[in-house]
Amino acid sequence: PASGNVVINAQPAPPAAPVATAATAVICGGFTANWNAVSGATSYGMAVSDNINFSSNLPSYDGSSLTSGTSYNLTNLTPGVTYYYRIWAYNSCGPSADSSNMITVEVVGNPTTADAGTNQTQCETATATLAGNTATVGTGVWSLVSGAGTITTPSSPASGVIGLGYGANVFRWTISNGDCTASSSEVTITRTNEIVVASGNKTPVSCNGGTNGTITLGTVSGGTAPYVYSWSKTTDPTFTANTANLIGLSKGTYNYSVTDA
């Protein structure tokens, strides 16, 4: 009779659980998950969740075989959210019985929305105090956009400014956090020079009791045009006028003020 031997080889056992290591390249909306290689493993799967109990996993990251390497780059995650991941090793017999340890990763968050404060006007004064908002996520810094002025403490939302130039001086408050898109806001500090009224002339009343007197103010300079005129009369509290030149005046003392817009 014929005889022979048939050998049935034992299949390899599922691999041991890998050891997950700290995430690297943590950026705005992503990170790289890492783990140690396992002997006999041909690929690895990963579960990723924003819930520490992994009650729900991100799509495509449910522990199924994903890559043959020992790292994986995740993108398009939500900035500022804490994620958790764990790893399984795979071979032809399936996944490891247990997953790896869990790793916690806080993805870089979008910075606080910048607010440089309201515009300011300074008459002659060459100094000012900026009024940006405080960054709760990220860090802020002031910069000069146009005009003149030295920012004394660029990283402080309430930094002082010295050496303001006349006219408009624009400053930018920028809050940034990692590689997330920075947020910025601008404020204008306008320094005006003092209003000066040049000597004018007057025409006295020709006859006692007459009303043909005139006053013509000199050229107005400084400040920011247009100018606003206001007149009063010392002996007549009902008298008012709002033009640069007056006609039809009776005798008396007239007082004026000139302000800018």
- Per-residue pLDDT tens over the stretch 85-128: 999 999 999 999 899 999 999 999 999 999 999 999 998 899 99
At residue 11, the pLDDT reads 65
At residue 8, the pLDDT reads 67
- Per-residue pLDDT tens over the stretch 23-81: 999 999 999 999 999 999 999 999 999 999 999 999 989 999 999 999 999 999 999 99
Range of the structural domain that residue 162 is part of: 120-192
What distance in Å separates the CA atoms of residue 108 and residue 97, rounded to the nearest whole number?
Answer: 33
170 HSE (CA, 13 A, CB side)? 5
Residue 64, helix vs strand vs coil: strand
Domain boundary residue, one of 140, 165, 192? 192
Q: How many CB atoms lie within 10 A of CB 164?
A: 21
At residue 75, the pLDDT reads 94
The answer to whether residues 25 and 50 belong to one domain is: yes
pTM: 0.73
Domain boundary residue, one of 107, 141, 160? 107
Domain count, the chain: 3
Domain boundary residue, one of 52, 78, 107? 107
The answer to whether residues 169 and 100 belong to one domain is: no
- Per-residue pLDDT tens over the stretch 183-211: 999 999 999 888 999 999 999 999 999 99
- Per-residue pLDDT tens over the stretch 212-246: 999 999 999 988 889 999 999 999 999 999 999 99
